[in-house]
C-alpha cells in the first residue's frame, strides 16, 4: 500500500505536535509517526533529521544530549507556530483516520477473497465427491447400507461454509475495532494472508490424501 504523503510543511507541523506532547529523540519520533499511521507510513532517518535540524535552526525546537541520544524539545516559539496552525493539524488528523480506514478496508477485502477461494475449493471437492459417488455401483454399498459419500461431503461443505462465514465476521469486527485505535498495520495484513494461505494449503492436502 502506498504510504500517505504529507503536504508541503505538514510533516514539520506534525513533528512539532509530537514534541508538544513530550520531548523525544529521533527514533521515538519515527516510531510515533509509524504508530499514528497504523504502520502505513514510516519515515526514514534521512527524512526526519533534516527537518528537525531546520526546526532547530528556526528556533522552534532545541536539542540536548541524554547519554548517546539527542533529545528534541519544542520551544515557546514552536508552540506559538503550532497554535497558529492548529486547524491544519486537525486536517492532518482527519487524513490519518482516512488512511487507517482505507487500510482496514484493504484487509477486509483480502479476507473476503481468501474466504471465497477456500469456499470454491470446498465446493469443487464436494462436486468431485458427487461424481465419484455416481460412478460407484449401488452394490458397493453392501447390505449394511454404508453412508453415501456424496451426502457426507455436502454436509461437510455446508458446515465448513458456516465456519468460514463466522470467521470472516469475527475478523471484520476485530479489524474495525483496531482500526479506530490506529493499530491495523501492513504487517497484520501480511500475517493474515500468510496464515490463510497456509490453511488453504492444509485443507487441499487433506483432499490429496483421499
Q: What is the pLDDT of residues 137-155, one digit of tens each?
A: 554 544 455 556 666 777 7
- The C-alpha atoms of residue 177 and residue 187 are separated, in whole angstroms, by 17
* pLDDT at site 120: 77
| pLDDT for residue 4 is more than 50 | no
- Cα dihedral 45, 51, 57, 60 in deg (nearest 10): -110
What is the DSSP track for 16-28?
A: HHHHHHS-EEHHH
* pLDDT at site 55: 95
Which residues of the chain does CATH 1.10.10.10 include? 10-84
Q: Could you give the residue ranges of the DSSP H alpha helices within 145-185?
A: 149-180
Q: Which residues contact 146 (CB under 8 A, 6 or more apart)?
A: 140
Q: What number of other Cβ atoms are within 10 A of residue 166's Cβ?
A: 10
167-173 CB contacts, 8 Å cutoff, 24+ apart: 167/115, 168/111, 168/112, 168/115, 171/108, 171/111, 172/108, 172/111
If pLDDT is split at 50, 70 and 90, which confidence band does 183 have?
low
CA-closest candidate to residue 9, choices 106, 116, 84: 84
* pLDDT at site 188: 73
Average pLDDT over residues 82-99: 74
For 10-84, give the CATH class: mainly alpha
| pLDDT for residue 131 is more than 90 | no
Amino acid at each position: 500500500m502506498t504510504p500517505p504523503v504529507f503536504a508541503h510543511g505538514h510533516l514539520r507541523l506534525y513533528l512539532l505536535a509530537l514534541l508538544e506532547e513530550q520531548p523525544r529523540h529521533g527514533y521515538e519520533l519515527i516510531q510515533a509517526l509509524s504508530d499514528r499511521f497504523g504502520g502505513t507510513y514510516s519515515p526514514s532517518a534521512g527524512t526526519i533529521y533534516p527537518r528537525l535540524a531546520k526546526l532547530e535552526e528556526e528556533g522552534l525546537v532545541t536539542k540536548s544530549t541524554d547519554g548517546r541520544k539527542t533529545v528534541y524539545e519544542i520551544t515557546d516559539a514552536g508552540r506559538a507556530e503550532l497554535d497558529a496552525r492548529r486547524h491544519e493539524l486537525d486536517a492532518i488528523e482527519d487524513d490519518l483516520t482516512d488512511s487507517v480506514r482505507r487500510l482496514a478496508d484493504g484487509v477486509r477485502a483480502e479476507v473476503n477473497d481468501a474466504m471465497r477461494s477456500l469456499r470454491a475449493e470446498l465446493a469443487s471437492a464436494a462436486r468431485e465427491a458427487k461424481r465419484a459417488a455416481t460412478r460407484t455401483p449401488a452394490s458397493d454399498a453392501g447390505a449394511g447400507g454404508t453412508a453415501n459419500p456424496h451426502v457426507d461431503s455436502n454436509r461437510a461443505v455446508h458446515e465448513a461454509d458456516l465456519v468460514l462465514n463466522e470467521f470472516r465476521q469475527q475478523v471484520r469486527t476485530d479489524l474495525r475495532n483496531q482500526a479506530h485505535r490506529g493499530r491495523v498495520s501492513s504487517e497484520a495484513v501480511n500475517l493474515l494472508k500468510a496464515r490463510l494461505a497456509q490453511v488453504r494449503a492444509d485443507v487441499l492436502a487433506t483432499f490429496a490424501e483421499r
